[in-house]
Chain A
Amino acid sequence: MLTTVQDLGRVGAQKYGVPESGAMDGLALRAANRLVGNADDAACLEMTLLGPELRFGAPVVLALTGADLGALVNGRPVARWQAVCVAAHTVLTCAGVRDGMRAYLAVHGGIDVTPVLGSRSTFTRSALGGFEGRALRAGDRIPVGAAPDPPRGPGRRLLRHAVPVYGHAHSLRVVMGPQDDAFTDEGIRTFLAETYTLSTQSDRIGCRLSGPRIAHRTGADIVSDGTTLGSVQVTGDGLPIVLMADRGTTGGYTKIATVTSVDVSRLAQASPGDRIRFVRIGLDEAQALLRGAHAWLDEIRQPGAEEADPAAIYDEDSGAALAAEGSLDLASALGARRAPSSRPART
């Protein structure tokens, strides 16, 4: 289990060798923030696979997006992709992953760690940003920002048809280049026709794939140049690595293609052993997909007024905190308070 503080990433310091970092699934993070009424780039918790146990020190409005980790609030299932009010001392646990790899927890007001180089994202390798530059562990108290505006209302949610289901087979659309000319025609065919498997040696730096080897024309080494989120680097062994949020800013291996922004979010939800295929599309089409993803985010709607919880549970309290728990003793301390059940919103 790896839980870190992430936002949309660190902008402007790549020229100093500082990786971008930020959410692996940026779309899920944006959605979580919109659900609770935060700015898109507010910091959230990125919770990987098992998820932590969290106790809320004050009432909060929260939203869970991304992977389905089987989250429970005081032992009862909690709605995903929806704003939910929880009372102080509520305990959030995760029963076990059902779909996807990384879940995002947004709280109204955002996770309020000190920004480093303009971002709250954690880059653990250099102990930079986030909560003390590291993954969260039991006993940590994580500050939540003061929430000057009331949340836009519990019950705010993504329309049900728009909630992603990840599964274990992923077609990733790619734009070819910048170094596709370093590969033989046969190598390009292999890349686009074969099925790859996500390796267990994948992390926030890169998703390593195993499968048929991709043939270079002359070699895998180039004079180092820049990388981007989703760069598909093919090293000397002919196997692709998709570079992710914590990748080095520069690299010395050929990059055959770049995974589209929307499908980087999809890959962030793939687990080791999942099947991966690459599908070539044009740049215009890739950018149309990105516009479509933003339209998808706009499907987060306020429910009708009669549905909105009067925020009775929510209580303005700056200096709220959540605490990562190493034990289960608080789990049954309080009765569950559920958010309003969802029904289709008017559009």
Chain B
Amino acid sequence: MLTPPRVLPAGDRALVVEYGATIDAQVNARVRGLAATLDATAPPGIIETVPTYRSLMVHYDPLRLAVSDLERILLAADAGLADEAVPARRTVEMPVVYGGEFGPDLADVAAHHGLSEDDVVAIHAATDYLIFMMGFMPGFPYLGGLSPRIATPRLSTPRAVVPAGSVGIAGHQTGIYPTDSPGGWRLIGRTPVRLFDTARTPPVLFEAGDYLRFIPVSARESAEIARRVASRAFAPVIRVESVHPS
């Protein structure tokens, strides 16, 4: 539920603009709207903003910008949000090889729900997932929209190494590991796409507010994409649709 923003201190160099306490697409859209307004207007003294599920962290330089002035800027930006045009909806397509060596837990996820592996893949690949925020590790998207029909608890013993690109399920979340790391998510597939690359500007392929769509591909297609990724000749398909307020 959308509540009037609360502006809270986070020490002497940051403020938090909090819109709610729950995971909610409307609340999240408000957070991202405020971030976009501040990015566009770039008030002097604001260092960077970090959108999360339900609040915006605003880092600022108190030697250049008084906190009272910053609060005024934030509340004015919030007040102007209702008049903002609804941004176009961007959906980034992520090719994924499901199952086999790429998704070692796909069979377990299917068994857990009494489904076939193909059912799990069809359900997982049938949704545009909203990226609520990024965090946890560089390039990691927090996605909303996993069907409860394939929600599955984490592994009881996490793996020491999960390969970069692994697509997993943990409870009601689904996500992609941007880099090799330890992890306890159930791995159902892997994308050959490099999610985080500091040689790119920006280093990520998607941001909070974008949608992700998983596209099943064969191991052969994935290998071909991997070759193009390696030679930096790959760009993901991005669908852009203008959204008209209903």
Partner-B contacts on A (CB < 8 A): 11-19, 116-117, 125-126, 128, 175-178, 222-231, 248-250, 255, 258-261, 283, 286-287, 289-291, 294
Contacts and interface: CB of A to CB of B under 8 A. Distances in A.
B149 to A, nearest CB: 24
B62 A287 contact: yes
B85 interface: no
B13 interface: yes
Interface in B1-44: 8-14, 16, 18, 21-23, 35
20 contacts: A13-B138, A13-B202, A15-B35, A17-B140, A125-B137, A176-B9, A177-B8, A177-B10, A178-B8, A224-B53, A225-B18, A225-B55, A226-B50, A230-B11, A249-B134, A250-B136, A261-B11, A261-B13, A283-B9, A287-B62
Contacts of B63: 290-291, 294
Closest 6 interchain pairs by CB? Answer: A226-B57, A258-B11, A250-B135, A178-B8, A286-B12, A17-B134
Contacts of B140: 17
B208 to A, nearest CB: 7
Nearest to A249: B135
B193 to A, nearest CB: 15
Interface residues of B, number: 45
Given A13-B203, A15-B207, A261-B11, A226 B136 contact: no
Contacts of B54: 223, 225
B49 interface: yes
A178 B10 contact: yes
Nearest to B66: A287
A248 B36 CA distance: 22
A9 B222 CA distance: 37
B52 interface: yes
B170 interface: no
Contact of B53 (A11, A225, A227, A255): A225
A250 B57 CA distance: 10
